[in-house]
């Protein structure tokens, strides 16, 4: 029996152990890919150490498990019902998996499948473990199996290392496509110096976005991004996290200080949906997010995303956004966050 080397995790937070495992056989509509490069996203550390605690509703594969998504490699073997893919071809493997038979999957909206799963990463639905069972191999192994529909052929001038970045580029492209950004439009990218932010800028340039505005903390990285297209990209450095001021009650000010500090001002906006991200604290629980005095609704029980619908009729209005959290002692603190307008 031929074997391969794979890094497997046996317990949350434990080390990845190098082990010899049998090389899998592809099913009739699947392919076997020899891994040449695999992406390592910044969030992978959280997935391997804190995920069940932070996101119990986003399942991980049963342990022991092989992680690693965004694989690029060479097709080593094809299933009996694979006809348009040949062994030896260079490919990128899209890690998005679904059940394949539900209405969202058949409509091209795989992310809405109840079994939607990132192979080698985590799932988003109650059927994710079934998908993990079908495709248990992540990119931190010498070989993986994948459905033939997940392959993107790489041209010769794209290296395997570059191909392993296609996940970021695909996410950026999907966002710009859904936003309708293009010639004559402006685009704001928060965190433009990061891996995903940079890909958004690159795809924005390629799709003809007229003006790209970017924010970030590292001025050196911002200057490098601007150098890509000095006449179309404009960058702005934001300050460090402000000092947190605590108050004994959200309604009772201390001395002459207001109980809640407005952190962000956006606008004017006539209609759309304001999505607030990053509203979380280390030692407290987020109790309130308000937009122009109106309470926002949490999108998830972990308080990471909140939203409020905006419909000001024919009159645009600026948005004043505030967020505060309460610790176990009842002290209130303002919370750093970021926000985006999602237009209808």
| CATH code of residue 42 | 3.90.180.10
The confidence score (pLDDT) of residue 323 equals 54
Query: In whole angstroms, how large is the CA radius of gyration of the chain?
Result: 23
Mean of all residue pLDDT scores within the chain: 77
Strands of 10-122, DSSP E: 16-22, 30-39, 65-66, 69-78, 90-93, 96-97, 117-118
DSSP letter at 240? P
Domain extent for 101: 3-164
In the listed set 164, 194, 211, which residue is the last one of a domain according to the structure?
164
DSSP letter at 45? H
139's CB contacts (< 8 A; 6+ apart) are 35, 38, 39, 67, 68, 69, 70, 71, 93, 120
Percent of the chain with pLDDT strictly greater than 90: 42
Task: List the helix and strand counts (H, then E) for the chain.
Answer: 8, 23
| Whether residues 278 and 327 fall in one domain | yes
| Whether residues 36 and 86 fall in one domain | yes
The confidence score (pLDDT) of residue 290 equals 57
| Whether residues 22 and 152 fall in one domain | yes
Whether the per-residue pLDDT at 263 is higher than 80: the answer is: no
| Whether residues 107 and 208 fall in one domain | no
| Whether residues 187 and 323 fall in one domain | no
How sure is the predictor about 16, in pLDDT bands with cuts at 50, 70 and 90? very high
Tell me the whole-structure pTM to 2 decimals: 0.66
Contact at 8 Å (CB) between 272 and 341? yes
Position with higher pLDDT, 126 vs 204: 204
Q: Largest Cα–Cα distance in the chain?
A: 76
In the listed set 114, 140, 164, which residue is the last one of a domain according to the structure?
164
Residue-wise pLDDT for 277-320, tens only, equals 444 444 444 555 555 555 655 544 444 444 555 554 544 444 44
The confidence score (pLDDT) of residue 283 equals 44
Domain count, the chain: 3
Residue-wise pLDDT for 180-210, tens only, equals 888 888 888 888 988 888 999 999 999 998 8
Q: How far is CA 14 from CA 17, 51, 221, 336, in A?
A: 9, 13, 33, 31
């Amino acid at each position: 029996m031929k074997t391969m080397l794979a890094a497997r995790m046996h317990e949350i937070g434990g080390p990845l152990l190098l082990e010899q495992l049998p090389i899998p056989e592809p099913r009739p509509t699947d392919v076997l890919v020899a891994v040449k490069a695999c992406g390592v996203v910044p969030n992978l550390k959280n997935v391997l150490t804190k995920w069940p605690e932070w996101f119990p509703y986003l399942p991980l594969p049963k342990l022991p498990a092989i992680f690693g998504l965004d694989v690029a490699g060479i097709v080593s073997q094809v299933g009996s019902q694979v006809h348009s893919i040949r062994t030896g071809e260079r490919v990128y493997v899209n890690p998005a998996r679904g059940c394949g038979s539900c209405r969202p999957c058949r409509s091209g909206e795989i992310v809405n499948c109840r079994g939607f799963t990132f192979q080698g990463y985590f799932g988003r639905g109650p059927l994710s473990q079934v998908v993990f069972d079908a495709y248990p191999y992540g990119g931190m192994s010498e070989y993986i199996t994948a459905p033939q529909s997940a392959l993107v052929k790489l041209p010769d001038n794209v290296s395997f290392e570059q191909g392993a970045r296609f996940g970021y580029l695909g996410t950026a492209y999907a966002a710009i496509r859904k936003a309708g950004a293009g010639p004559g439009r402006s685009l704001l990218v928060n965190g433009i110096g990061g891996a995903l932010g940079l890909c958004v800028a690159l795809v924005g340039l390629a799709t003809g976005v007229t003006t790209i505005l970017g924010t970030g903390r590292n001025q050196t990285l911002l200057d490098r991004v601007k150098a890509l297209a000095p006449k179309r990209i404009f960058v702005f450095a934001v300050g460090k996290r402000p000092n947190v001021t605590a108050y004994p009650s959200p309604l009772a000010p201390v001395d002459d200080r207001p109980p809640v500090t407005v952190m962000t001002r956006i606008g004017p906006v006539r209609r759309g949906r304001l999505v607030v991200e990053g509203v979380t604290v280390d030692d407290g629980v987020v109790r309130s997010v308000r937009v122009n005095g109106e309470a926002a609704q949490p999108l998830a029980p972990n308080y990471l995303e909140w939203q409020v619908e905006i419909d000001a009729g024919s009159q645009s209005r600026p948005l004043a956004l505030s967020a505060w959290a309460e610790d176990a002692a009842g002290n209130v603190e303002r919370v750093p966050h970021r926000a985006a307008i999602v237009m209808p």
